[in-house]
Amino acid sequence: GEDVEQSLFLSVREGDSSVINCTYTDSSSTYLYWYKQEPGAGLQLLTYIFSNMDMKQDQRLTVLLNKKDKHLSLRIADTQTGDSAIYFCAGGIQGGKLIFGQGTELSVKP
């Protein structure tokens, strides 16, 4: 089955860029997703990338996909304290079978 791996913690200073990394084993996923979970809340879709794309930019967010290395990253420019949350990458497979990584806890220090 598919496995999705993320590092557990990342700490940055306000105003710096954050890069959250994710590796996956199954390359059959048509889409790959990034979700954000704020404390005590459910997950919220941040952005996604089609597996045929290398990069997608959405305001402060940049998603990079390296299909050869099965590596996905999320870059947050000008990170703010409000960006502190847990970020999950997920590989989407049909029928609601979304496989999630363990989540990366991003801590933004003022």
Q: How far is the CB of 97 from another protein (least distance, A)?
A: 6
Specify the residue, 22 or 76, whose C-beta has the smaller distance to another protein: 22
Q: Which is nearer to another protein, 73 or 92 (CB)?
A: 92
Q: 3-state secondary structure string, the chain?
A: CCCEEECCEEEEECCCCEEEEEEECCCCCCEEEEEEECCCCCEEEEEEEECCCCEEEECCEEEEEECCCCEEEEEECCCCHHHCEEEEEEEEECCCEEEECCCEEEEEEC
Q: For binding to another protein (CB under 8 A), which residues are involved?
A: 1, 4, 6, 8, 30-31, 33, 35, 41-45, 48, 50, 88, 92, 94-103
Residue 90 Cβ, how far from another protein at the closest point, in Å? 8
In single-letter form, the type of residue at position 89 comes to C
Smallest gap from Cβ 76 to another protein, in A, equals 20
Q: How far is the CB of 104 from another protein (least distance, A)?
A: 10
